[in-house]
Amino acid sequence: MQSHLVKVIVAASFAAIAGSAQAASGCVKGGAAGAVGGHLMGHHGVAGAAVGCAVGHHHEKKQAKKQQQAADAQQARENQAANNNTANATTTTTTSQPGMQAAQNTQNTK
């Protein structure tokens, strides 16, 4: 019973140390999996929890980075599309009379 209490306290302390909610999530998930694995491999639950916490934290950090890069790429595509639409709207001016443009150009050169 006392060893289970120690495991819970260790897992909770890893979760508290992790910092952000996402990092804590990775630590708790990895720590739980590591504790089970360590326990099954010869009663090394605490060591498994520590390693699992580190691995889980690393995995969550990689996932967050991928999601941020995808969001940044999506925002860049949206900005590019908006810029293209604005550029196309401002450059499309036409004259109603084809000869009018040539007459204006000759007046400007005098």
The pLDDT tens digits along the chain (110 residues) read: 567 766 776 666 665 555 556 557 788 888 888 888 888 888 888 888 888 888 888 888 899 999 999 999 999 998 888 888 776 665 555 555 555 555 555 555 55
Is 29 exposed, middle or buried (CB count within 10 Å of its CB: 0-12, 13-18, 19+)? middle
* 42: region left, alpha or beta (phi > 0 left; psi from -120 to 50 alpha): left
97: which residues sit within 8 A by CB, 6+ positions away? none
Contact present, 91 and 65 (Cβ < 8 Å): no
Tell which phi-psi region holds residue 51, choosing left (phi > 0), alpha (psi between -120 and 50) or beta. alpha
Global pTM value = 0.50
